Every structure is written in structure tokens, then in C-alpha cells.
Amino acid sequence: MEVAIVGGGPGGCWSAILLARRGHSVTLIDPQAPWEKPCGGGITTKALQRFQIFEGDLPRKAVEQITVYFGDKNSVSITPRQPLVIVSRKELARYLLEEATRAGVCFLQDRVTQIQREGARWRVKTKENALEADFIVGADGATSFVRRTLGTALGPEDLCITLGYFIPTDVPATMKIFFVPTLEGYIWSFPRPGHISYGLISRSGPGRTAKAKELLSNFILADLGVEIMEDAEFYSAPVPCLSPQSWKKNVIAGDRWALVGDAAGLVDPITGEGIYFAFRSAEILAESIDAPGQYAKTVLHEIGRELARASRMYPRFYSGRFLGGDFRKRTIQLARRSRTVQQILGNLVAGNQPYLSLKKKLVLSVPSVGWDLVAGRK
């Protein structure tokens, strides 16, 4: 089968690699890959353990400690029980593109301008080329051209904005996550190989981007000083953040086409993490490309239910109350006093604690948390 994949990020590249290895003729199209992205670049333990691509020599920085803050007076530090690493998204993209080329994928550094159905085939036009394909894969991000052309675009209410600065400096292998009382989102500080990624994710909306950029800049200045900003490089990009209602009507595949990764809306709405879901959706597509209906069914069952659950939890996480205070603040305060809560929080950050089983886990942990609190008073 001749497959055209639009988008050279993790989902697109991994789809191309797996499909080429299965004998398909694959063309990967992207105007700027490999590119940097305003995200932390964190690879969860779940992703490291599942996908063979991370067994290679991709440059990475292992995380030795995760510190979660609420405001400037409440924090808890967690030592990961299993590895969690940070990578440069540009280096990850380059690594994947090289692997795709070795697998026999044809890479076109070009921009798709038109997709048309011609009988049982697709005709894809770019700025510089034209090609035909039996199957189209959209892996071109939150504002996917493929999704807008063949399906339904994500609306503004289903998007978050990410802002990031990449600063050349060497810092300790500590991941920092900052929650601010007035911010529906969070700020991060991730140590990458050769530089630090400092960024923010929040709901998009009129005037929010400028305010978020000012808030992020102030945090960097307070943490690293004024001089550090002279070499900082700024990036910004949208990220899917689907509501519970949008999950119910999220169409990710049709006759001879499918979406993977961000283009399919497969991003954790609470954390903004999407690398695992991009890779996993690519795997599922490679296994079921001859049956797009089965692809959609499998993705929505395995990934969609988990992310839809996170979407339902989102309002409580960012706006809810717990023990008379902000939910995030009380969680951090409780984690400082309870090793059990620390472990649960650490597993959430590492991607090892599913949202679908989180409530049950918390209920079963009540006796252990109680014992932690009692023992802590002695």
C-alpha cells in the first residue's frame, strides 16, 4: 500500500517507520522537521519501557528528583522509583527521521496544500510536488490540515497554548513543576542535554498568551537571574485539550485516512503530555491500517477512555476544593507528610498511574495515608 503521512513529529515518524517495516511504500511530508517544540521533552517511564526507539543512543538526561510547587511556600520533592528522562524534541525528531530513512521512507521537506479524493486513491499536492497515495495519515499537530480537510477541526475551546524558552546552561537533574493559584495550567523547568526547557501550558483565549508569557518570564528571572534571558530562545504552539463532550464526538479515522497523536487529540488534558499517546496510536495504526474502523475503536478504547477520564477530572484538579483549600495546594501539603501520597503523585508524573484506576487507588490507600500522618506526628 502507498501511504502518505503528513507531519514529521513523533507520531508521524513512528507511523512511517512501522509501516515501512511492514512492507508499505511510505512518503513522509513535513515543511520543517526536525524542529524544536515548546514542551518539557519528558519521556515517561511507561514510554521508555514500551517503545524500542528509546533503547538507542538518543541524547537524554535522567531525572534524579521531581519537585512540585504550589505558590512560593508549598512544595514536595519526589525521587522517581523508575527512570524518567528528558530529551530535546529536535534531537528526538532528527533521531526518528534518520530511523525512518533507514527503514526506506521517502521524506519530503515540503508543505501540503491540498488533499483530494480521486476514485479509490488520494492526490496530495504540496508547494513543490504532487503525489498519489492509497492511504492518508494526519500527524500534523493540534491544528492538523488533514483533520480540517477530511474531518472536523478542533475548536478553540479544545486547545491549550504552550510557551517555552530554551536556555543554554547546565543545571542539576531536577524536574520542577510550578502550580500558581491563578493559573489554569502549570509552569515547568526541565533539564535537557545541553540546555534547560522552561515553559508554561494554559488554556488559550484572548489576551491570555501575553499574560502567560509575562508570568513565565518572571518565573525564569526569579529562578535563574536576569542575564540568563540574553541567550533564551522563545517558542509557542497549540496543544489539544479536549473536553468530555468533545471526546464523545472525536472522529479520528475514515475511509482510507486516519489521525495519530496530537492531530487525533490524544493528549493528557491535565499535564499536556502526548508523546506516549503519539507513539502508541502509531503502533495501533500500523497493526490495523487495512481496517480504519478497527483502528479508531482500539484507540478510543485503549487511549480515549483514559484521556476522557482525565478530561472529567480536569475541573476538579485546577479549580476544585479539598479539605477547605485549593485541591493542588492540599495535595502537595498532604504529600509532604505522607510517603504513600508521594508515591501516587510520583507514579502520576511518571505515567504509571492510570486515571481510570486512580480513584480506587486513593480509596485503598486511605489506611496507609492515615498511618503516615499518625507516624509523622510522633
- Contact between 65 and 175 under an 8 Å Cβ cutoff? The reply is yes
DSSP annotation of 172? -
Are residues 155 and 144 in contact, defined by beta-carbon separation less than 8 angstroms? no
Spatial separation of the C-alpha atoms in residues 272 and 214, rounded to whole Å: 20
Q: Supply the DSSP symbol for 313.
A: H
Q: State residue 235's pLDDT score.
A: 86
**CB distance 347 to 78 below 8 Å:** no
What pLDDT does 230 receive? 82
Query: Residue 236 in contact with residue 161, Cβ under 8 Å?
Result: yes
Q: What is the DSSP string of 244-279?
A: HHHHHT---EETTEEE-GGGGT-S-TTT---HHHHH
Residues 48-81 have pLDDT tens digits of: 877 877 777 788 888 888 999 998 788 999 888 7
pLDDT of residue 38: 66
* Nearest Cα to Cα of residue 1 among 134, 131, 103, 165: 134
What domains lie within the chain, and their CATH numbers? 2-59+88-156+243-312 (3.50.50.60), 159-237 (3.30.9.10), 320-377 (no CATH)
Predicted structure pTM score: 0.92
What's residue 49's pLDDT? 77
Residue 304 pLDDT > 80, yes or no?
Answer: yes
* Chain centre distance of CA 63: 18
Least confident stretch, 128-137, 162-171, 297-306:
162-171
Mean pLDDT over 6-23 rounds to 95
Pick 16 or 291 by higher pLDDT.
Answer: 16
How far apart, in whole angstroms, are the C-alpha atoms of residue 20 and residue 253? Answer: 20
pLDDT classification of 25: cutoffs 50, 70, 90: very high
Residue 349, pLDDT score: 81
CA distance 229 to 231: 5
Residue 239, helix vs strand vs coil: strand
